[in-house]
């Protein structure tokens, strides 16, 4: 019986961790769709968000809600900077230079933060000042509950935003055909900027939420980004639903495998799952097979 | 392109010699010699990236892992297992090459973004294993006391001796990597980088080429790593992590990933950079603390402003003083097309050919035959399935149903390069050339298809390519980079690329698209000449004037089905055909 509870416990943690992957993966996919760029600095968006929170909340002792809003504001500004610094100059180039450029951005961000905050990981307070609840022998940590709730809200918001608002439709039009969108009077450069902002804010929220669990560290982004990227492939490359489902699935796989097999190799399971998917179903769960046209 | 100018040769040679003998002529501290050793061993790993990234265009973010294979091979082999340096290096290199082969095989389904991800995953798993599999790898503590090798009694215990040895290995490998692009394999690699689909259709076994590139990259990485381990006598996992892979990548990009010299220059700069930063003036000393951040900015700036790295700059500078590349065309043999005459029956038969995309029936059951020595045109309104049919014939798509039979052999399940190997050649609607290769090299890639009945070896390939270029009237442009050729000439280069491979069947996808009247007239003349040689041509075009002039037979498609077939006179006046084009079923004339 206890074993069953433990499994539920692990499942719950996996879902919460998976939610973080899903949020970052969502940001990934939005940028891929809008610009066809795979952003290898995506995880560092989460890292930056978390450090912004450390600065405003822990450092400047602002109230939690104010620090949270300020962090997201900082991430929004950062999204614009990232667009114009990393993507925009290379927007007409092939994918490889852009990909390498985002890698460069990732190195830059991590080492700048390292120079400012030092190598020591920082703790961050939970959102709620409570331990959590125990239901039927399964302990539900309050932070994990918050993560699940916020993720659900954000996914819902993203859906409504993209499917039921004019701005969302314009963003979709931009991602599908930039030239046509431009001819219809949609300011494409602005739309791409908005995408980067939205993606940076999503990443920032993920960072703030996961900070209390993983500690805030320079490398936290890289690990999350790799998992998130794996999630987008498992879910179906460039597919929004796929990113979310893939993220959750990966979180669960990882937690269960770490619990049942071995903890030190925790980070390897995600990659093994990825390899398996690539071998068996390379287009992912929701993806369609596409081949190049001649 | 493989002609190194004498002055460059002298400069490179002098620098190389100087680097190797400096420790013998001057008093150099152990520290400086070690830095040299680092640069030399890293440079060997970076050469691997030149092959896989620079030549083949495949991203590899796991070069440090391959470096690690070599290093741990030597370390474990010569300490734990008590083997000699050479056998340990061989084991490490073998393991690395196998790993590279496996990574390369993933490109069968994946490219680009996926590959970046796969290689990172591989790198991370390698790192996890190094740290956690303590019984074997000694975990984070690393391995100490790795002995130096000896070669025919030459003990390399002294640092500068060992450095000299490493430098010699580096020079040999630089030479090999420099020599590679002009070989069959090297050309295949560069064609994959420039346009993978076109390379496959022209007859390059693209998967094998990519796998070979990955294996070579891994091999070079492991050689560098093995030498590194014996040089420093101590290794630990943080020498082989993702950050090191990025360092290798940056070195390759900074120096110029398309040249081994670029790779070496980049490596030297990257290894030296922290040293130079130490000597910064007081006011700038903060840079020292954030030099990795500067590094990151540097990567972005290289990508924005210096896409071919430092060596690219040198090349551009040199090209400015070079004479325009016109080619001496004396002694070019006339093209001979070796069309197997005498055989009877149709050359190409399609029966019940269908290709569906989900619910869309692009091609829906076509039966037709292309007779030997004829020009057969496939026409039809937009969206009628012409290009899809051509894609199924050339192997880009596998048919949903039905067969493609070439001289009695069903080729419908073969991959495009295998079909090219059986003599099916094609051009593309939107020209697909290897843009940064010369016209000659483009055509040589076509000539090196499997089963081309010419002697092997570069000399024969070159002669064949020159003949093909002469046939389309571009022999004097042979050494121009095709990106710089006018559009009409690019179309001709694409045709020459197929002709060089002795096609039995020539597929042309809208060869007249985008050509002006004069160019179209020249094309008609060229097609008639080819027909005169007995070549069988199957073409698509929208220009009815051209189709009528050159075709012996026309097949008309509409909505993926054949609606008419016959001689031009009959077909173009066929009521169904007129209706398909003009949308009326009324009487004609």
Indicate which CATH number applies to the domain containing B437. 3.40.50.300
- B/e letters for B209-235, b = 16+ CB within 10 Å, e = fewer, are bbbbbbbbbbbbbbbbbbbbbbbbeeb
Q: In the structure, what pLDDT confidence band is assigned to residue A190 with cuts at 50, 70 and 90?
A: very high
Quote the CA–CA distance of B263 and B46 in Å, as a whole number: 6
Q: Is the pLDDT of residue B326 over 70?
A: no
The alpha-carbon gap from B107 to the nearest alpha carbon of chain A, in Å, equals: 11
Q: In the structure, what pLDDT confidence band is assigned to residue A21 with cuts at 50, 70 and 90?
A: very high
**B114 lies in a domain?**
yes
CB contact, 8 Å: B242 with chain A?
yes
**B332 lies in a domain?**
no
Q: Whose structure tokens read 């560069």? A: B190
Q: Is the pLDDT of residue B1 over 50?
A: no
pLDDT reported for residue B377: 94
Q: How many CA atoms are closer than 13 Å to the CA of B465, on its beta-carbon side?
A: 27
B102-148: pLDDT as tens digits: 888 877 766 667 777 788 888 988 998 999 888 888 888 899 988 88
Among B53, B111, B117, B206, the strongest candidate for a mutation testing the A interface, having the largest count of A CBs within 10 A, is B117
Quote the CA–CA distance of B467 and B481 in Å, as a whole number: 18
Asked which of B214, B244, B274 is the last residue of a domain, the reply is: B244
CA B403 to chain centre: 31
Helix/strand/coil for B47: helix
CB nearest to A99's CB, from B116, B201, B290: B116
Instruction: Please judge whether A294 and B59 are an interchain contact, meaning their C-beta atoms are less than 8 angstroms apart.
Output: no
What is the count of structural domains for chain B? 2
**B179 lies in a domain?**
yes
| Greatest Cα pair distance in chain B | 99
Minimal CA–CA distance to A236: which of A277, A199, A202? A277
Asked which of B197, B217, B244 is the last residue of a domain, the reply is: B244
| Greatest Cα pair distance in chain A | 64
Domain boundaries, chain A: 18-218
**B151 lies in a domain?**
yes
**B342 lies in a domain?**
no
**B551 lies in a domain?**
yes
A232-246: average pLDDT:
86
Q: In the structure, what pLDDT confidence band is assigned to residue B2 with cuts at 50, 70 and 90?
A: very low
Q: Which has more pLDDT, B275 or A253?
A: A253
CA B588 to chain centre: 53
A43-78: pLDDT as tens digits: 999 999 999 999 999 999 999 999 999 999 999 999
Average per-residue pLDDT for chain B: 87
Helix axes A240-260 and A220-235, enclosed angle (nearest 10): 120
The interface residues of chain B toward chain A in range 320-379, judged by CB-CB distance below 8 A, are none
Instruction: Count other Cβ atoms within 10 Å, centred on residue B567.
Output: 12
Nearest CA in chain A to B386: A294
Asked which of B198, B224, B244 is the last residue of a domain, the reply is: B244
Quote the CA–CA distance of B154 and B460 in Å, as a whole number: 44
Q: Is the pLDDT of residue A232 over 80?
A: yes
Instruction: Please judge whether A265 and B128 are an interchain contact, meaning their C-beta atoms are less than 8 angstroms apart.
Output: yes
B391-410: pLDDT as tens digits: 999 999 999 999 999 988 89
Q: Is the pLDDT of residue B585 over 80?
A: no
pLDDT reported for residue B94: 95
Instruction: Please judge whether B295 and A233 are an interchain contact, meaning their C-beta atoms are less than 8 angstroms apart.
Output: no
pLDDT reported for residue B220: 97
pLDDT reported for residue B272: 83
CB contact, 8 Å: A140 with chain B?
no
Residue B564's domain comprises: 374-385+418-582
pTM, 2 dp? 0.86
Q: Is the pLDDT of residue B328 over 80?
A: no
Locate B247 and state its tokens. 């360092």
Q: Which residues in A lie closer than 8 A to residue B246 (C-beta atoms)?
A: 103, 107
Q: Which residues in B lie closer than 8 A to residue A229 (C-beta atoms)?
A: 117
List phi, psi (to 5°) of B538.
-120, 115
List phi, psi (to 5°) of A98.
-70, -45
Among A84, A100, A228, A258, the strongest candidate for a mutation testing the B interface, having the largest count of B CBs within 10 A, is A100
């Amino acid at each position: 019986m206890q074993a069953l509870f433990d499994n539920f416990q692990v499942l719950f943690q996996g879902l919460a961790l998976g939610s973080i992957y899903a949020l970052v993966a969502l940001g990934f996919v939005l940028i891929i769709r809008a610009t066809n760029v795979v952003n290898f600095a995506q995880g560092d968006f989460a890292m930056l968000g978390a450090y912004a929170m450390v600065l405003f909340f822990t450092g400047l002792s602002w109230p939690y809600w104010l620090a949270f809003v300020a962090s997201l504001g900082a991430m929004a500004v950062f999204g614009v900077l990232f667009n114009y610094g990393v993507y925009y100059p290379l927007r007409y180039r092939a994918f490889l230079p852009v990909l390498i450029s985002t890698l460069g951005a990732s190195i830059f961000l991590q080492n700048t933060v390292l120079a400012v905050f030092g190598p020591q990981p920082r703790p961050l307070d939970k959102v709620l000042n409570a331990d959590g609840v125990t239901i039927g022998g399964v302990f539900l940590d309050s932070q994990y509950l918050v993560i699940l709730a916020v993720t659900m809200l954000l996914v819902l918001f993203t859906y409504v935003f993209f499917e039921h608002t004019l701005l969302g439709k314009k963003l979709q039009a931009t991602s599908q055909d930039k030239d046509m969108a431009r001819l219809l009077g949609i300011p494409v450069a602005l739309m791409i900027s908005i995408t980067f902002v939205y993606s940076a804010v999503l990443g920032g929220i993920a960072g703030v939420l996961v900070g209390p669990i993983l500690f805030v560290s320079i490398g936290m982004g890289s690990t999350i980004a790799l998992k998130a990227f794996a999630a987008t492939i498992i879910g179906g490359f460039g597919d929004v639903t796929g990113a979310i489902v893939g993220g959750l699935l990966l979180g669960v796989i990882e937690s269960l495998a770490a619990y049942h097999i071995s903890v030190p190799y925790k980070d390897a399971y995600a990659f093994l799952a990825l390899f398996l998917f690539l071998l068996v179903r390379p287009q992912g769960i929701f993806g369609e097979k596409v081949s190049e046209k001649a | 392109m493989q002609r190194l100018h004498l002055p460059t040769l002298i400069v490179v040679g002098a620098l190389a010699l100087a680097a190797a003998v400096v420790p013998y002529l001057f008093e150099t501290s152990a520290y400086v010699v070690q830095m040299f050793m680092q640069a030399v061993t890293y440079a060997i790993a970076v050469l691997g990236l030149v092959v896989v990234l620079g030549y083949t265009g495949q991203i590899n973010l796991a070069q440090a892992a391959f470096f690690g294979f070599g290093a741990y091979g030597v370390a474990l082999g010569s300490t734990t297992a008590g083997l000699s340096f050479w056998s340990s290096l061989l084991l490490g290199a073998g393991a690395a090459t196998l790993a590279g082969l496996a990574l390369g095989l993933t490109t069968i389904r994946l490219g680009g973004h996926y590959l970046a991800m796969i290689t990172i995953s591989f790198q991370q798993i390698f790192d996890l294993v190094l740290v956690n599999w303590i019984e074997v790898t000694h975990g984070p503590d690393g391995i100490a006391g790795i002995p130096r090798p000896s070669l025919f009694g030459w003990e390399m215990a002294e640092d500068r001796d060992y450095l000299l040895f490493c430098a010699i290995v580096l020079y040999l490998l630089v030479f090999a990597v420099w020599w590679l692009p002009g070989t069959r394999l090297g050309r295949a690699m560069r064609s994959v980088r420039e346009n993978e689909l076109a390379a496959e259709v022209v007859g390059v076994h693209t998967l094998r080429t990519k796998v070979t590139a990955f294996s070579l990259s891994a091999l070079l990485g492991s050689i560098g790593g093995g030498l590194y381990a014996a040089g420093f006598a101590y290794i630990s996992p943080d020498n082989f992590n993702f950050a090191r892979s990025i360092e290798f990548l940056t070195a390759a990009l900074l120096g110029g990933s398309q040249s081994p010299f670029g790779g070496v220059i980049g490596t030297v700069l990257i290894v030296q950079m922290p040293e130079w930063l130490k000597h910064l003036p007081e006011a700038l000393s903060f840079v020292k603390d954030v030099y990795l951040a500067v590094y990151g900015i540097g990567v972005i700036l290289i990508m924005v402003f210096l896409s071919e790295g430092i060596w690219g700059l040198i090349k551009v500078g040199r090209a400015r003083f070079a004479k325009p590349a016109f080619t001496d065309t004396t002694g070019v043999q006339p093209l001979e097309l070796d069309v197997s005459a005498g055989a009877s029956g149709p050359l190409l038969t399609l029966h019940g050919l269908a290709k569906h995309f989900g619910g869309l029936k692009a091609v829906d059951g076509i039966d037709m035959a292309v007779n030997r020595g004829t020009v057969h045109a496939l026409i039809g309104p937009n969206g009628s399935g012409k290009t899809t049919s051509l894609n199924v014939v050339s192997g880009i798509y596998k048919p949903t149903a039905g067969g493609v039979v070439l001289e009695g052999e069903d080729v419908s399940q073969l991959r495009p390069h295998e079909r090219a190997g059986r003599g099916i050649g094609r051009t593309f609607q939107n020209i697909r050339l290897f843009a940064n290769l010369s016209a000659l090299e483009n055509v040589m890639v076509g000539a090196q298809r499997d089963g081309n009945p010419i002697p092997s070896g570069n000399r024969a390939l070159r002669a064949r390519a020159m003949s093909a270029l002469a046939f389309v009237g571009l022999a004097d442009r042979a050494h121009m980079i095709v990106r710089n050729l006018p559009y009409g000439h690019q179309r001709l280069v694409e045709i020459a690329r197929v002709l060089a491979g002795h096609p039995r069947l020539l597929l042309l996808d809208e060869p007249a698209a985008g050509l002006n009247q004069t160019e179209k007239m020249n094309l008609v003349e060229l097609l008639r000449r080819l027909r005169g040689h007995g070549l069988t041509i199957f073409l698509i075009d929208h220009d009815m004037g051209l189709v009528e002039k050159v075709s012996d037979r026309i097949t008309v498609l509409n909505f993926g089905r054949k609606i008419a077939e016959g001689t031009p006179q009959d077909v173009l006046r066929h009521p169904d055909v007129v209706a398909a084009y003009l949308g009326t079923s009324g009487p004609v004339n």
